[in-house]
Structure 1
Amino acid sequence: MAHELGESDWGDWLPTAVADADPDGVAIWYLGCNGFVLKGSDGTTLFIDPYCGLGDPPRTVRMIPVPFDPTDVREADAILATHEHSDHVHGPTQAPILASTGADYYAPDASMATVEGGGWIDDWSVVAEQFVTVTEDETFEVGEFTITVVAVNDPDADHPVGYVIEHDAGTVFHGGDTRPADSFRSLANRFDIDLGVLAFGSAGRIPDKETREPKRTQWYADENGVVRAANALELDRLVPSHWDMWKGLTADPTVLHHHARSFDYPERLEVVEIGDRIDL
């Protein structure tokens, strides 16, 4: 079965670390793939695109551990989804978190169609009131965070969005699987982004979804695209994501040091591995 839930051999240490953390500002954990957890100083906890699935072998083969069992998550106020792909909207990962914590789920319409098609309300103990459809330029509050939905450029998704997440400690941008976008200059004028997450990967030969014949595939920005996006967004800190995930599309994020050297932004590259914590 494609994208079935993987079994974690990490135990519950990562969800426990999140629950027990008492950050001065905002603590951020990388979940691998494009998943992150943000926890603020007042305890508000946001998940963005968490994914504990195994992919669809042999087409997409997970290259990193499954970091936690979703039923071990004790605290969550919201889950934000960037677009409808299975490694971003995944019922077996995300619905149990919603069921156990009562968190709200924010996502664009194409992602919500995937939720409805997956029967989340019928198969898990979640209710319709937990699901909130969002659109670009909409702003909403989740606890101590102010979240603005922004336009991004992911040509492989039906309706992708990014999120600008503001807190007294700083501002975070999560672009989903975006490539460089014309809108990023205006975002830099509108927001002072302290830390930005941008998906990064190589091109590779991946079996076609329909024919299963090997096909040249590029789902994420390459090193030049990532730095172009980071420079347009005027990021203080760049955190590359997704480079670790799929066999054939992995990449070395340290090469971004060389590509960023000739640009004003990002001011700093921060390479994190699955399970790592960084702070605003």
Structure 2
Amino acid sequence: MAKATTIQEATRENWIQNTFPEWGTWLNEEIEQSKVPEKNFRMWWLANNGIWLKTHEDTNILVDLWNGTGKQTHGSGLMKQGHQMMRMSGVQKMQPNLRLQPFVIDPYAVKNVDALLVTHIHSDHLDINTAAAVLQNSGPETKFIGPQAVVDIWKGWGVPEERTIVVHPGDEVTVKSVTIKALEAFDRTALLTVDNDVTIKDSLPQDMDEIAVNYLFKTSGGNLYHAADSHMSNMFAKHGNENHVDVEIINYGENPRGITDKVTSIDVLRSAEDLKAKVVIPVHYDIWSNFDADPQEIVKLWEMKKDTLNYQFHPFVWRVGGSYTFPEDQNKIQYHYDRGFSDVFSKDNDVPFPSFL
């Protein structure tokens, strides 16, 4: 839709069409054009727990891309009946979970996706627009991979069953140059999720292995562990003993009073130590206004403890829409967006400057 040039053309629909997604296809184009160095893998943070993983061999894997939003109205002032946060805390009042991040990728412009993976059933990870976009822009070889409950939801939306692969902890799936291993998830919040047609009093804890998994991506450039929305667990040490982990991605956030949903800063470090990772990258703290947190807290704790506890890893503070290449970026602590102007004064400018400048 053309941008408005008159007041009459400046409608709400015109504004939405010309504004969202805020980054347009900038990141789509960057990912498509990106060449990953040999013996490296590259990934982009798409907000929340969403990442795009790309290998030197041009394997492209999309994980947990969410294209939805949080609260947009105060509504009745009450939470939806059966919401996991209501079950966890007993709170009925509507919570201020507003989306903080822009949409940095256009899902309907995605190309060359070899597999879409989802870690668990929650709607800020399992997204219908992502599924629709991948389905319409890919061939039959592109697979939809997730635990049983995720696959059931995909099929209910219209994803052909033959395009889906159900995984349980211990299963391995090969997607071109990447071997994906499903591992146990530790997402206690997911266990509290209730279907709309189930009453709270009649619901029972769900089987974690059917609704959530963590993933280990084995690439020629190293291994990536995606911990999704897992809480802290001693089982991270088991995963670290049984698997080689180079980079860990894990949810982090400032939990509201009476809630234990996101991993805290100290447990971000504990999980990385247990996994024997080289780098730990916190995510998810960026998206919900009521869980907003400062990842510099993780860096400060790491600086306090790294020598006395002999940490063999370090944190990396990412920015949404930014890339991270391992091991090329292994020694970096913090991401900064490209500042541009690298070719400044490559051509004479025509703006006069005072001589003293």
Worse overlay, 233-242 or 157-166: 157-166
Which residues in structure 2 correspond to 1:1-280 (within 5 Å)?
7-24=20-37, 25-57=40-72, 59=95, 60-102=97-139, 103-116=142-155, 119-121=156-158, 126-158=159-191, 159-204=211-256, 216-261=258-303, 262=305, 263-265=309-311, 267-280=313-326
- TM-score, length basis structure 1: 0.87
Give the unaligned 5+ runs of structure 2. 1-18, 74-94, 192-210, 327-357
Q: Where in structure 1 do 4 or more consecutive aligned residues deviate above 3 Å?
A: 56-59, 263-266
Contact 1:163 1:173 in 2 (8 A): yes
How far is 1:110 from its partner?
2.0
How far apart are residue 67 of structure 1 and its match? 1.1
Could you say what the CA RMSD is over the residues aligned between the two structures, in angstroms?
Answer: 1.7
Higher strand share: 1
Residue identity opposite 1:223 in structure 2:
S
2:27 counterpart letter in structure 1: L
User: Does the 8 Å CA contact 2:268/2:280 hold for their aligned counterparts?
Assistant: no
Contact 1:200 1:222 in 2 (8 A): yes
Q: Is contact 2:45-2:323 (8 Å) kept?
A: yes
- Structure 1 counterpart SS, 2:28: helix
| TM-fit CA distance, 1:107 | 0.6
Shift of 1:7: 3.1
Q: 1:22 corresponds to which letter in structure 2?
A: K
Contact map agreement 1:230 1:265 (CA 8 A) in 2? no
Q: Decide whether the 8 Å contact of 1:47 with 1:78 is kept in 2.
A: yes
The structure with the larger Rg is: 2
- The Cα shift of 1:266 comes to 5.7
Which ranges in structure 1 are unaligned for 5 or more consecutive residues? 1-5, 206-215
- Shift, 1:218, TM fit: 3.6
Name the CA shift for 1:266/1:108 in 2 (closer, same or farther; >3 Å): farther
8 Å CA contact retained: 2:43, 2:325: yes
Q: Distance in 2 between matches of 1:68 and 1:178?
A: 25
Identity of matched residues, %: 26
CA distance in 1, matches of 2:121, 2:154: 9
| Cα distance between partner residues in 1 of 2:161 and 2:178 | 23
Q: 1:108: how far off?
A: 0.4
Write the deviation string for residues 115-150 of structure 1: whole angstroms up to 9, x where unpaired: 24xx421xxxx4221111110000110111011100
Conserved 8 A contact 1:98-1:104: no
